[in-house]
Amino acid sequence: MSIQLGDVAPDFKASTTQGDISFHDWIGDGWAVLFSHPKDFTPVCTTELGEVARLKEDFLSRNAKVIGLSVDDLKSHQAWEGDIKDATGQNVNFPMIADPDRVVAELYGMIHPNASTTMTVRSVFVIDPSKRIRLSITYPASTGRNFEEILRTLDSLQLTDQYLVSTPVNWQEGDDVIVAPALSDEEATNRFPKGFKTIKPYLRMTPQPNR
């Protein structure tokens, strides 16, 4: 069965461009974003890795580390880093897992044989400090991901872990959020001193509580 939200992220040992790791130890006490790309020296992947490098500080400011993976070997990853720098101007400043034997790719269900038997799809797993899978998305090889969206989901996950709220469609940091339907109006008044607006009894909006 595939990995599902709420599952403990499978632990593994691997070689990466920044040394050997034990995944859970590498995650430490923070959040992690594990993402696969189909193949080294390919165009969409080159743009993605440059973008993740550009956004690394934005991930770190959310207490999140990023780590990439493909089923290529370490030598290939290391050689490709030069091309990524040439093409995008970015030094690859995060580890890339070398998984030529597909151990991690299989563990995380990153190979979808009806899409490709030789490459991973574009998987993303967001893992919380208790090592649970909190978000998973899958894109095909032909479609580059939007890593600003992964930052947005981290903002939502971290906010909704802290307050009894959820985030509406297209929510961005600073926008109003939804009061948990389980709260009575009286409880919501106590919890959200900035007040709330009732659009429907089950849809009440309040300013982002930690702003």
Q: Beta partners for 183?
A: none
- Rule CB under 6 A: choose which of 43, 113, 193, 201 binds ligand BEZ: 43
44 or 154: CB nearest ligand BEZ: 44
End-to-end distance of the chain based on CA atoms, in angstroms? 40
Amino acid at 68: G
180 lies in the site for ligand BEZ, by CB under 6 A: no
Asked if residue 138 lies in contact with residue 8, where contact means CB atoms within 8 angstroms, the answer is no
Asked if residue 209 lies in contact with residue 165, where contact means CB atoms within 8 angstroms, the answer is yes
Q: What is the CA radius of gyration of the chain?
A: 19
45 lies in the site for ligand BEZ, by CB under 6 A: yes
In the complex, least distance from residue 203 CB atom to ligand BEZ, rounded to whole angstroms: 40
- Rule CB under 6 A: choose which of 33, 44, 84, 150 binds ligand BEZ: 44
- DSSP, collapsed to helix, strand or coil, labels residue 43 as helix
Indicate the DSSP class of residue 85.
Answer: H
38 or 50: CB nearest ligand BEZ: 38
Contacts with ligand BEZ by CB under 6 A: the residue count is 9
Catalytic choice (14, 32, 34, 45): 45
124 lies in the site for ligand BEZ, by CB under 6 A: no
141 lies in the site for ligand BEZ, by CB under 6 A: yes
